[in-house]
Structure 1
Amino acid sequence: MQRRPVQLLFPDGFLWGAATSAHQVEGGNVNSDWWRFEHTPGSPAGVSSGDGIDHLNRYREDFDLLASLGHTAHRLSVEWARIEPAPGEFSDAALAHYRRVLEALRERGLRSFVTLHHFTLPAWFADRGGWLGPDALAVFDRYCARVLAALGDLVDFVCTINEPQMVALHGYLEGYHPPGVTNAVLWKRVGRVLLEAHHRAVATTRAHADAAPGLVVQLPVLAPAREDAVTRRYRDELRAEIVDLYLDALRPGAGGDWLGVQYYRKNWVDPASPTIFAPPPPGFATTQLGWAVYADGLREVLVRAARTGLPLYVTENGIATEDDAERVDYLEAHLGAVLDAIGDGVDVRGYLHWSAFDNFEWAEGYRPRFGLIAVDRAAGFRREPKPSAYAFQRVAESGDLSRLRATGVAVA
C-alpha cells in the first residue's frame, strides 16, 4: 500500500524542473550511431528522430516557457556527435551553440544540469568499437575536457553519463539500442567501462570547471516473477549488475558530489523470459509502454541510494500516457514518495520531471507521451502546456504538494 507523506512541504531551496536530451529534442543528429540505427532496415528503432521537436532552434522560447511554469532548474545534454564530428576534430560552432544555450538558461534563472553522454555516440566512435574500443576511455576523456574547458563556467551540475547500466543492458544484452548486441558477457564488461568513464569524467570536471559532477542512474525496483530459488537468485544477480555495482562504487568525493536517481517502474524478473522480464501481475496500473506504476518504489530507491552518502536529485521520473489526468495522479503519488523519503531522513534536493516536452523516445519513436508540454510536430512544432504542467507549477512555486490540485493560478 502506498504511504502518504507525513508533511506536504518540500525543503527551502528545493530545485524544480524537467529534463531533455539532445538527440530526443534537437533533430538532425546525422553523425550519431542512433541516427544510423534508426535508418538501418530491420532495426528495432523503426522511426527516424528526424527534426526532433526543433529545440535546436527554439531553445530560447522553450526556456521562456519552462521558466514561466515555475521551473528553477533544467537538465539537458550536449551532443558529442555534433561537438566532435570526426576523431579529434572539434566543432567551434557546436560549442558556441551550446554556450548560447547555457547562457539562455542562466539569463532565465534556471540552474543547469548538463549531461555529457546521454545514450548517443558519434558514428566514428561506434565504428571503432564504441565503449569496447581499445582507446574508448581516453577518447571520452578528451571530449569531456574539451567540453568543460569551453562550457564549464556556465554549468552548475555535470551529469557525467546517463544511465550507464541501461546503456549496457539495452545495447549489449537486450539489443534494442545500438549496437544491437545480445551477449551475456559483453554487457557486464560495458557496464564496468562506463563506471570507469564516470570516475574519469569526475576528475576531468574538477580540473576544468567549478561545476559539481555526479552520475545519474536508473534504479528500477526488481522483484522475482516467481518465488522459487532459481528466479530469486536471477533477480539478485540482475540487481547486483544494474543497481549495486554502481551505487557501491560511489562515495562522497571520489564518486562525485551528488547522485541523480531516475525511477520509472517495478520490474518482475524472469529467467525463462526471452526479454528477461515478465509482464506486471494483474491489478497493476500500466503506462503506454506497459510499465507498472509503483509510486512507493521511488521512496525505496531513494532510501537505497542514500547509502552512498551523497546528496540526491531525482533527475528523471515520469509516465508515458495520452491521458494527462493520469500524469497528474502520477505526479501526486511520486512527489509524495519523495516527501516520504525526505521524512525518512534522505537528503533529496530537487526533482526534474521526465520530460519537459513530448519528444522522441528512442526505439519507441514519438508514440509515448511523457511531456508536461505537448508538441504538435505537424503544426509548426506548436507547444501547448498540459494541465499537468500547471499542476507541477503550483507545487514548484509553493513547495506545497497540497497545491497540486488547487484551482486557479499558481501562488508563489
Structure 2
Amino acid sequence: MSQFPDGFLWGAATAPHQVEGGNVNSDMWHAEWAKGSHFAEPSGDACDHYHRYPEDMTLLADLGLNAYRFGVEWSRIEPEEGFFSRAALDHYRRMVGACLERGITPVVTLSHFSTPRWFAAAGGWSNDAAADRFARYAGRVAAHLGDLVPWMSTFNEPNLVSMMVHIGLVPAAARDEPLGRSNSTDPEPARQSDSGAAWPSHSVDVMATAHRKAVEAIKSGPGDPAVGWTLALVDLQPADGGEQRWRAVRQSALLDWLEVSRDDDFVGVQTYTRERIGPDGILPVPEGVATTQTGWEVYPEALGHTVRLAAEHARVPVLVTENGMATADDDARVAYTCAALGGLAGCVADGVDVRGYLHWSLLDNFEWTSGYQMTFGLIAVDRTTFERTVKPSARWLGKVARANGLT
C-alpha cells in the first residue's frame, strides 16, 4: 500500500464555462458564435451544471471523494463593468455550502480562461487597468465566499499562452487547435484572439501583477483561504541536440511562473503528458506510442516529474489541481491514473509536501475549441437529456480515496 498523508484531498475538477451552460456574457460565448470561429461547436447548455450541481456533488461525495475544484464565473458575477450581481454571488455561495454539507472541501478558481465580454472588448489583459479590474472582482468574491472557502486559486494556467508562444504547445486542447487565437507566435501586440476572447497574456509580469493584486484583495477579506494559482506544467524533456532550447523554453514557460508562487500558500500543478524538445522545437510523438484523443502521448510518469519540479522551484506546498486523459477507453483511464498516482506517491514518500489530487474532469464537458469531442470525465453526460452515468474509473478513484492510498 502506498499511503498518502492524513487529510489528503481526493477529488475532481471542472471549469464554469465548460460545464455550466448559457454563459452568454462571456467572451468565450461570443468567440464560439463569431463568424469564422475556430470552435468546433458552441458550448450551449454545456452540462447544465449551473442548475444540476447538487446532483453532481452528491455523485462525487457518494463515490468517496472529499474535494471539488470548481470555478466562479466572472462574466456572471460582473456582467457589466462595475455591476456585481448579488444573485450570482449567492448562487456560488450556495455551491460552496452544498460542498460543505456533503463533506466536500471546496477549491474555488476565480478565472478559468473565460472573462466578461466588456473586459475582452476593452483589450483584455493588455489594458493597463486589467489587474485592478481583476483584483476588484477577486475582492468582491472573497467578501462573499471567503469565510467558507479553504482553498482559492486566482488564475487557471496563466502560463498557457507563454507556452504557446515559446514552443507552440497547447496544453488545453488538441495539438492542431489554435484555441480560437491567431496562429502567429508573435507575442505582440497582446495576442488578443481574432474572435475577441481575452486569453491570458504571454507576459509573466502582466499576469503576476494581476495575481498579486488579487491575492492582496482576497487576503483582505473574511476567512483565511490558502491562495495560489494553477500552472500548466508539461513535463518538458530535452532530446539530443535540444538541450539549449529546452533550458530556455523551460525557464520562460515554466520556471519564471513557478517562481511567482514562492510568495503564495500553494501552487496548483496541472499535468497530462510530456513533450520532448529538439533543436528546432517540439518533436512529434514517437511512432507506435499510445496517444489520447487530444493527440498527446500517454505518459503518466509526467505527474511525478512536474510535482517535483514545482516543489523545488516554488518552494511551497503542491496541490495537483488537474491530471487525467481524454479517452473513450475507461480501462485506459484507470491504468493511466493508477500510474500517475504511483509517481505522486513516490513524491510523498520522498518528502514532497503534496496536499491533494484533483482529477480532470468530473464530467465529460466542453473542451474549448474541440467542443464535446474529448471525453476527460469520470462521469459521462448525455448530450440531449443531461443524464449522468458514473464510469468505472470514478468508482476506482473513489476506492483509492477511501483507502487514502494505492494497493
Same fold (TM > 0.5):
yes
- Given residue 190 of structure 1, which amino acid in structure 2 is its aligned partner? S
Give 1:35's match in structure 2, choosing from 29, 32, 42: 29
Cα distance change, pair 120–172 in 1 and its aligned pair in 2 (3 A) = farther
Alpha-carbon distance between aligned partners in 1 of 2:44 and 2:396, rounded to the nearest angstrom: 31
In the other structure, the counterpart of 2:194 is none
Comparing 331-340 with 193-202, greater Cα deviation is found at 193-202
Deviation (angstroms), 1:171: 8.8
Q: Does 1:245 align with 2:272?
A: no
Alpha-carbon distance between aligned partners in 1 of 2:129 and 2:123, rounded to the nearest angstrom: 9
In the other structure, the counterpart of 2:226 is 212
Alpha-carbon distance between aligned partners in 2 of 1:271 and 1:14, rounded to the nearest angstrom: 41
- Do the aligned partners of 2:31 and 2:180 also contact (CA within 8 Å) in 1? yes
Cα distance change, pair 386–245 in 1 and its aligned pair in 2 (3 A) = same
Q: Number of matched residues?
A: 386
Percent identity, aligned pairs only, is 46
Please give the secondary structure, in 1, of the residue aligned with 2:107: strand
Task: Within 5 Å, give how 1:165-314 maps onto structure 2.
Answer: 165-170=159-164, 176-177=178-179, 180=182, 182-186=184-188, 189-209=202-222, 210-224=224-238, 227-228=240-241, 231-251=242-262, 255-269=263-277, 272=280, 277-307=282-312, 308-314=314-320
Deviation (angstroms), 1:156: 1.2
Deviation (angstroms), 1:169: 4.1
Q: Does 1:377 align with 2:383?
A: yes
Q: What runs of 5+ residues in structure 2 fail to find an aligned partner?
A: 169-176, 192-200
In the other structure, the counterpart of 1:78 is 72
Q: TM-score, normalised by structure 1?
A: 0.89
Cα distance change, pair 134–260 in 1 and its aligned pair in 2 (3 A) = same
Deviation (angstroms), 1:158: 0.5
In the other structure, the counterpart of 1:64 is 58
- Given residue 313 of structure 1, which amino acid in structure 2 is its aligned partner? L
In the other structure, the counterpart of 2:171 is none
Deviation (angstroms), 1:259: 1.2
Cα distance change, pair 78–172 in 1 and its aligned pair in 2 (3 A) = farther
Task: Within 5 Å, give how 1:388-407 maps onto structure 2.
Answer: 388-402=393-407
In the other structure, the counterpart of 1:361 is 367
The CA deviation string for residues 249-287 of structure 1, in whole angstroms up to 9 with x for no partner, is 222xxx211111111011133575xxx633211243211
Q: TM-score, normalised by structure 2?
A: 0.90
Q: What runs of 5+ residues in structure 1 fail to find an aligned partner?
A: 1-6, 403-412
Alpha-carbon distance between aligned partners in 1 of 2:180 and 2:38, rounded to the nearest angstrom: 9
Alpha-carbon distance between aligned partners in 2 of 1:194 and 1:316, rounded to the nearest angstrom: 20
Alpha-carbon distance between aligned partners in 2 of 1:297 and 1:30, rounded to the nearest angstrom: 36
Please give the secondary structure, in 2, of the residue aligned with 1:208: coil
In the other structure, the counterpart of 1:4 is none
- Given residue 215 of structure 1, which amino acid in structure 2 is its aligned partner? W
Deviation (angstroms), 1:110: 0.7
- Do the aligned partners of 2:89 and 2:144 also contact (CA within 8 Å) in 1? yes
Please give the secondary structure, in 2, of the residue aligned with 1:295: coil
The CA deviation string for residues 64-104 of structure 1, in whole angstroms up to 9 with x for no partner, is 11100011110000000111111111111111111111111
Alpha-carbon distance between aligned partners in 2 of 1:301 and 1:120, rounded to the nearest angstrom: 26
Alpha-carbon distance between aligned partners in 2 of 1:37 and 1:214, rounded to the nearest angstrom: 28
Q: Does 1:98 align with 2:100?
A: no
Please give the secondary structure, in 2, of the residue aligned with 1:153: coil
In the other structure, the counterpart of 1:407 is none
- Do the aligned partners of 1:173 and 1:184 also contact (CA within 8 Å) in 2? no
In the other structure, the counterpart of 2:174 is none
Q: What RMSD, in angstroms, separates the aligned Cα atoms of the two structures?
A: 1.9
Cα distance change, pair 355–151 in 1 and its aligned pair in 2 (3 A) = same
Please give the secondary structure, in 2, of the residue aligned with 1:74: strand
